[in-house]
Structures are given as C-alpha cells and as structure tokens.
C-alpha cells in the first residue's frame, strides 16, 4: 500500500522531473519561475486545539463502554474475522511498516528518483515519531490490557510495565495513513489507507490486546502526529539522505550526511 501510494504521488506531482519553464507569451523565450517566500505555518493552531479537545472527549466517552465494546469484538470469532484480524495486526506492526518503507526507499534510489526516496523517508519519520510517542505514553500511563485484566478497564498503574493505553499498532497505522495522504495527490489514497488503519484498530480490540478507548487514542495520536510531522518534514526534508559512518585514525567514528 505504501509503495502504491508513493507511486501515485510520483505520477501525480511529477516527482523526479525538472520543473517546466515558464514561456514568455510575447517573445517565446523561457523565463525562470519567480521564487516566492512562504511563511512557515505555526506549529500548533486553533484547529489542533479543537482536534485535541474533540479527541479527548471521544476517548473519555468511549472509556465508559470499553467492556461492552470488547465483548462485541470478541463475539466475531468466525474464520473470516480471525483472518481479517491477523491482517490488521500486520498493517500496524512497526517492523512490517519499516520493511515496506525501506523497500520504497531502495526502489526510489534504484530508479534514480530522489524525491520519491525523500517522500518515503518523510513517511518513515512520521510513523517513527508517532510510535515513539505512543511508547512513552504507554509506559507513563500503565494501563492493563484486556487479556490481563478483563473485568477492570480502569486498572492504571503508571510505570508498572502495563502498556495498553494508547494502542501503538493503531497509532502507527493511522500515522502511516495520514503521512501517505500528505505526500500523495491521488484521491484514492485516504479511501484505502484509513479503512486499513481502522482494521488494525479493530483487530487490537478483537484480539483483546487493547480496549476500545486505547485504539481511539492511538488513532487520534497517530493521525495528528503523522499529519503534523509530515507537513514539517516536507518543508525541511526535500532531499533523500543517507548517514555514512567510517572509523578514523586514533579512535572514534566520522559520520557524514550524503544527500541524493
């Protein structure tokens, strides 16, 4: 899915192709496009504040129905439900996502498409930031998972090792969906990426690995961070790069950034 979305991005936006010159209507001579300075967007806006308020309210309301939602999800125990749940878990699995994005990165380098490669790396940064944020919150909040505390959805012990809230798989899946949407102009991308991310969230409840409020919090976190980090990266990360390390005489390691 990541490769298809980035290919669509490349085709829709002309990634890897030089910008077309502007032709003077009178003389027929090419004119270099004028550069326009664009003020950087603020990091946190009123829309972000409204999103945070709405997400917090939705998670709070859902938390009161966590046990009911878990029972409903567990009731789906057909062969098809088990297969969909297994697929959903893979779509939110960090190593699986990382492997797909590495494949996109390598494909872009082999095809000599540096902007395609840079887009893959920006998506990876967005997913990575969301995953790290989810891990930090998990450890700090310390909510027990449904399979460990099925009768108590309000079992919280900060820094206890319990790691249910928020769902890391769901955060990664929605960050991937949001970043792909930000990178692509293809209209079908969000219609595929977000339902797949929703499938990941459902699978975590169905497998009793997370409460419904964990999943909703992960979706809100991943969706917001994925979009925000990708927007920042698109302003500052326009070229693909590779960190090369080599030993130096006398001990130590020299690290160089190689831009493609």
- Mind listing the pLDDT tens digit for each residue in 196-244? 999 999 999 999 999 999 999 999 999 999 999 999 998 876 655 543 3
Decide if 116 is inside a domain.
yes
Task: Tell me the sheet residues that pair with 243.
Answer: 257
HSE-CB of 107 using CA atoms within 13 angstroms: 15
* Nearest-angstrom CA–CA distance, 175 and 169: 10
**Residue 185: CATH number of its domain:** 1.20.144
Decide if 5 is inside a domain.
no
Q: Which of 89, 115, 153 is nearest to 11 (CA)?
A: 115
Decide if 18 is inside a domain.
no
Q: Which of 123, 117, 129 is nearest to 242 (CA)?
A: 117
Decide if 21 is inside a domain.
no
Q: How many residues does the chain have?
A: 260
Its domain, for residue 140, covers 44-259
Structurally, the chain folds into a number of domains equal to: 1
* Nearest-angstrom CA–CA distance, 250 and 187: 55
Decide if 7 is inside a domain.
no
- The predicted-structure confidence for 103-153, as pLDDT tens digits, reads as follows 999 999 999 998 889 999 999 999 999 999 999 999 999 999 998 888 889
8 Å CB contact between 153 and 142:
no
Split at pLDDT 50, 70, 90, the class of 14 is: very low
- The predicted-structure confidence for 35-90, as pLDDT tens digits, reads as follows 444 556 677 888 999 999 999 999 999 999 999 988 888 887 888 888 888 888 88
Decide if 39 is inside a domain.
no
Decide if 16 is inside a domain.
no
């Amino acid at each position: 899915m990541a490769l298809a979305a980035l290919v669509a991005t490349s085709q829709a936006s002309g990634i890897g192709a030089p910008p077309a010159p502007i032709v003077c209507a009178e003389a027929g001579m090419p004119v270099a496009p004028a550069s326009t300075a664009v003020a950087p967007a603020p990091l946190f806006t009123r829309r972000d504040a409204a999103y945070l308020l709405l997400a917090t309210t939705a998670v709070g309301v859902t938390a009161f129905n966590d046990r009911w939602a878990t029972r409903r999800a567990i009731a789906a125990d057909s062969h098809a439900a088990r297969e969909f749940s297994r697929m959903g878990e893979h779509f939110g699995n960090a190593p699986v996502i990382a492997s797909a994005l590495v494949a996109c990165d390598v494909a872009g380098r082999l095809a000599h498409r540096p902007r395609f490669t840079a887009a893959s790396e920006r998506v990876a940064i967005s997913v990575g930031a969301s995953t790290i944020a989810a891990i930090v919150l998990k450890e700090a909040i310390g909510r027990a998972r449904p399979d460990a505390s099925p009768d108590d959805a309000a079992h919280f012990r900060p820094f206890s090792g319990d790691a249910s809230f928020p769902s890391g798989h769901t955060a990664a899946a929605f960050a991937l969906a949001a970043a792909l949407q930000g990178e692509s102009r293809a209209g079908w991308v969000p219609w595929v990426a977000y339902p797949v991310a929703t499938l990941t969230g459902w699978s975590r409840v169905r497998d009793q690995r997370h409460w419904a409020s964990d999943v909703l919090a992960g979706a809100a976190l991943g969706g917001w961070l994925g979009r925000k980090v990708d927007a920042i990266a698109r302003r500052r990360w326009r070229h693909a790069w590779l960190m090369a390390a080599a030993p130096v005489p006398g001990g130590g390691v020299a690290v160089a950034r190689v831009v493609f």
